[in-house]
Amino acid sequence: MSTASSPASPASAAHGEGASVPATALASGPLNGRVRVPGDKSVSHRALIFGLFAEGVTEITGLLEGEDVLNTAKACAALGAKVERLGEGHWRVTGVGSRGLSEPDAVLDFGNSGTGVRLMMGAVGGQPVTATFDGDASLRRRPMRRVLDPLREMGVAVVAEAEGGRLPLTLKGSVAPTALTYETPVPSAQVKSAVLLAGIGAPGNTVVIEREATRDHTERMLAHFGAHVSVEPHGPHGRRVTLEGGAKLKGAPVAVPADPSSAAFPLVAALLVPGSEVILTDVMMNAFRTGLIATLKEMGADIETLAERSEGGESVADLRVRHSRLKGVEVPAHRAPSMIDEYPVLAVAAAFAEGETIMRGLAELRVKESDRLAAVADGLAACGVSHRIEGDDLIVTGGGVRGGGPVKTHMDHRIAMAFLVMGLAAKEGVSVDDVSFIATSFPSFLPMMRGLGAEILA
Ligand X SMILES: C=C(OP(=O)(O)O)C(=O)O
Ligand Y SMILES: O=C(O)C1=C[C@@H](OP(=O)(O)O)[C@@H](O)[C@H](O)C1
Question: Per CB under 6 A, does 219 bind ligand Y?
Answer: no
Q: What angle is formed at CA 224 by the lines to CA 220 and CA 228, rounded to 5 degrees?
A: 80
CA distance 169 to 166: 7
Question: Per CB under 6 A, does 368 bind ligand X?
Answer: yes
State the DSSP code for 55: B
Residue 124's Cβ-count burial label (10 Å; 0-12, 13-18, 19+) is buried
Taking Cα atoms as reference points, which of 81, 114, 74 lies closest to residue 365? 114
Interaction with ligand X in 92-121: which residues (CB under 6 A)?
113-115
The kind and range of the H/E element at 72 are helix 67-78
User: Which of residues 190, 286, 409, 440 is near ligand Y by CB under 6 A?
Assistant: 190
Report what 189 binds from ligand Y, ligand X, none; CB cut-off 5-8 Å by kind.
ligand Y
User: Which of residues 12, 24, 28, 42 is near ligand Y by CB under 6 A?
Assistant: 42
Interaction with ligand Y in 328-347: which residues (CB under 6 A)?
340-341
Q: How many residues does the chain have?
A: 458
Q: Give the catalytic positions in this structure.
A: 341
- Is 190 annotated in some ligand binding site? yes
Report what 42 binds from ligand X, ligand Y, none; CB cut-off 5-8 Å by kind.
ligand Y
Report what 188 binds from ligand Y, ligand X, none; CB cut-off 5-8 Å by kind.
ligand Y
Question: Per CB under 6 A, does 64 bind ligand Y?
Answer: no
Nearer to ligand X, 329 or 339 (CB): 339
CA dihedral for 354, 356, 360, 363, sign (positive or negative): positive
Beta strands in 36-188 (DSSP E): 57-61, 82-87, 90-94, 108-109, 130-134, 157-162, 166-172, 181-183
Question: Per CB under 6 A, does 214 bind ligand X?
Answer: no
CB atoms within 10 A of CB 136: 27
Min CB(434)–ligand Y separation in Å? 19
Nearer to ligand X, 200 or 411 (CB): 411
User: Which of residues 17, 302, 364, 455 is near ligand Y by CB under 6 A?
Assistant: 364
CB within 8 A of 249, min separation 6: which ones?
50, 53, 54, 55, 95, 97, 98, 200, 222, 225, 226, 227
Min CB(255)–ligand X separation in Å? 21
Binding residues for phosphoenolpyruvate: 41, 114, 142, 190, 372, 414
Catalog residues that contact ligand X under the rule CB under 6 A: 113-115, 341, 368-369, 414, 441
Binding residues: 41-42, 46, 114, 142, 188, 190, 341, 368, 372, 414
The residues of the shown chain that bind ligand Y, judged by CB under 6 A, are 42, 114-115, 188-190, 193, 215, 340-341, 364
